[in-house]
Structure 1
Amino acid sequence: MTVLPLAARSVGAANLPVIDIAGLSSSRQEKRAEVGDALRQICLDKGFFYCSGHGIPEGLINAVFDEMKAFFSRPEQEKLAVDKTKSFCNRGYEILRGQTLEAGAPPDLKEGYYVGVELAEDDPRVVARRFNRGPNQWPDDQPGFRPVMMAYFAAMLELGERLMRGMALSLGLPETYFDGYSRDPLGTLRLLHYPPQPPDAAPNEKGAGAHTDFGGLTLLMQDQVGGLQVHDSTTGNWIHADPIPGTYVVNLGDMIARWTNDRYRSTLHRVVNDSGRERYSVPFFFVGNPDHRVECLPNCLQTGETPKYPPTTVEDHLKAMYERTYTPPSTAI
């Protein structure tokens, strides 16, 4: 097992830039194209950036943090009443150390909560037991939790679709190119609570092990505690992605790398909460339509180059990723 040092260095915005995406909502094509050009540069580099001009109301973001903190402060038995093992579609509470993102490392020192697209039991996609399709679980005696999370979920779906149009422009494609992917998506909202890194932590134990994300785009809202670290493949070092108020941290997932034959980066990242405080973060995974075909874009192939990955679908790709990270650590690959 290779142990990755937990130390990281801080860097400025020159390394993880802030991109104002307000231009994607402009009626002027040149303003939208300017954002596409900016996205192209960072996607060819680390695939990580801060996103401002997103338009998500601060009051809604604050309400999400208030509700999640209230939930995670509840007694363990109350949280287990909505344990995701009771859900056939991976919704609800995930226990501390319930996931292992880094093969060979101890389980992640975090607890979480999964929210997805709300579908009724009699919906045909639910009856057919399509992957991650079904109703959410909601905690009792916390009446604000459901409406806040669903309002935030809807806002993030719209933001994800907007960013995918920017991604299309960045690749020299029509800005509607990924609209089929964005239709009826499998977006997933995760609420995450990281206890402080214990002084007697097991070797290589972290809040979240080194990993790349599974899907298309990840939009992370983090509190002011910090702890997110991004791997710099040029130097081999880990760098801090310190919180910048009013911004999301956006990173590309494995499906974008697959689409672009690895021209666009899906970068390793991890969480080390050595602050001595509780850390909370809210990643939203804009994953896309489960039936959408993912195969190498022809304009991403260099002369004489062949695709590195066979065609797949969003659903098949996700199934493979979930099986890998929820395998018991002793048999993880």
Structure 2
Amino acid sequence: MNVEVRNSQIAQKSLPIIDISAFLDGDFPARQAVAQQIRLACLDKGFFYISGHGVPETLIDDTIAQAKRFFDLPLDAKMALDKATSKANRGYEPMSGQRLEAGAPPDLKESYFVGGELPPDDPRLLRGQFGRGANQWPAELPGFRETLQAYYTAMTELGGRINGAVALSLGLPENYFATFYQEPLNTLRMIHYPPQPANPHPDLKGCGAHTDFGGLTLLLQDSAGGLQVWDESAGAWIDAWPVPNTYVVNLGDFISLWTNNTYRSTMHRVINTSGRERYSVPFFVNGDPDFEVSCIPSCLAPGETPKFPPTTIAHHFQAMYSKTYLR
């Protein structure tokens, strides 16, 4: 898909806001009703907002504040946590360290990655399972680690609920993805986007057009705006403006694979034209890195064959890291 042909066009549309509180305290019919709304959103653009998610607003605010604290550190303090030294993709990624859109300049952003904490004798660590390893924490920021670990825990629980909602939306048992999600390789990524410079390269973006690599993404964004979603039917971009106390949810490549493109991962990008710093915290909801994912049989029409071969998180992520990271 050549999404650059009509880059200047912005569709005047909006994404649905879905109240998922039934997945916290509702009965099964209420959850099914929410799942039907999610199904319509997934069949349309694969992007939607969720409210009623149950993550405390104070924890959300504290997490954004911690992102600002981290990125305000001197460069040498951040580089001491360079993720290039981590076998598990944990730590700091410097400005312009990734190019998500082929042929464009490197992305105008810097990042910090956190994963699940495991004890040193965990069997997954000992056998060198992909993506498992130690986090790199900044010693200069008291309270930083505690806040991010609390947020990571809350988001892992929310990710499980959304997996259940997606399963119901496909007419599957609510626990269909439970085995896949039993030992998830979730990732919290804090991102700082400086303002778009004056007279930039025409293809320079905070984050180039791409689809997400994994299962689901739950995006926390500040009030700056800049996220845009590709609308295939309109041949244009949709602005996904920040909505207070919501998350933007989007489907990743593995949902396309599970569903044989019944649900598809959607191209999106970030261009920070706000004139100020932008901070976001995407949480990537993934599963066991060694779990083989293949097409869900009920997503195949009679006589239809899967569009994608079976694969694992580990295999797909290794390929995408090689393709997009610049060092």
Q: Distance in 2 between matches of 1:8 and 1:119?
A: 46
User: Greater shift after overlay, 287-296 or 203-212?
Assistant: 287-296
Contact 2:6-2:236 at 8 Å conserved across structures: no
The one-letter code matched in structure 2 to 1:189 is: L
In structure 2, what is the Cα distance between the partners aligned to 1:7 and 1:130? 43
What is residue 149 of structure 1 aligned with on the other side? 148
Query: Cα distance, 1:10 vs. partner?
Result: 5.8
Of the structure 1 ranges 19-28 and 180-189, higher mean CA displacement relative to structure 2 is found in: 19-28
Deviations 1:260-279 (A, max 9, x none): 00010210000000111100
**Residue 244 in structure 1 maps to residue 221 in structure 2:** no
After TM superposition, list the pairs within 5 Å mapping 1:38-49 onto structure 2. 38-49=37-48
Secondary structure of the corresponding residue to residue 274 of structure 1: coil
In structure 2, the partner of 1:218 is 217
**Unaligned regions of 5+ residues in structure 2, if any?**
none
Unpaired segments of 5 or more residues in structure 1? 329-333
Asked whether the equivalents of residues 257 and 263 of structure 1 are also in contact (C-alpha less than 8 Å), the reply is yes
Structure 1 letter corresponding to 2:57: E
Q: Percent identity?
A: 56
Match of 2:130 in 1: 131
Give the Cα–Cα distance (whole angstroms) in 2 for the partners of residues 154 and 322 of structure 1.
25
Partner of 1:7: 8
Listed one character per residue, the Cα deviations across residues 279-316 of structure 1 (whole Å, up to 9, x for unaligned) are 00000000111122211111111232110011112222
Distance of 1:327 and 1:78 partners within structure 2: 21
Q: How large is the Cα RMSD of the aligned pairs?
A: 1.5
Contact kept in structure 1, 2:36 and 2:169, CA below 8 Å: yes
TM-score calculated relative to the size of structure 2: 0.96
Report how far residue 26 of structure 1 moved: 3.1
For residue 114 of structure 1, give the secondary structure of its aligned residue in structure 2.
strand
Map of 1:66 onto structure 2: 65
Does the Cα contact within 8 Å between 2:43 and 2:262 map onto a contact in 1? yes
In structure 1, what is the equivalent of residue 280 of structure 2?
A: 281
Q: CA separation in 2, counterparts of 1:190 and 1:6?
A: 27
What is the rounded CA distance, in whole Å, between the counterparts of 1:171 and 1:282 in structure 2? 28
Conserved? CA contact 2:11–2:236, under 8 Å? no
How far the C-alpha of 1:81 sits from its partner, in A, is 1.0
Q: Distance in 2 between matches of 1:29 and 1:44?
A: 22
Counterpart for residue 235 of structure 1:
234
Q: Helix, strand or coil: the match of 1:293? A: coil
| SS of 1:155 mapped into structure 2 | helix
| SS at 2:219 equivalent | strand
Task: Tell me by how many angstroms 1:11 deviates.
Answer: 3.5
Residue number in structure 2 paired with 1:80: 79
- 3-state DSSP class of the match of 2:44? coil
CA distance in 2, matches of 1:265, 1:28: 29
2:209 aligned counterpart, secondary structure: strand
List structure 1 runs of 4+ shifted beyond 3 angstroms: 1-8
Local SS of the residue matching 2:114: strand
How far apart are 1:4 and its partner, in Å? 5.2
Q: CA deviation at 1:128?
A: 2.0
Equivalent-residue separation in structure 1 for 2:68 and 2:210 (angstroms): 25
Give TM-score scaled by structure 1 length: 0.94
Deviation at 1:27, TM superposition (A): 4.8
**1:8–1:240 CA contact under 8 A, matched in 2:** no
Equivalent positions of 1:1-333 (< 5 A) are 3=4, 6-9=7-10, 11-12=12-13, 15-326=14-325
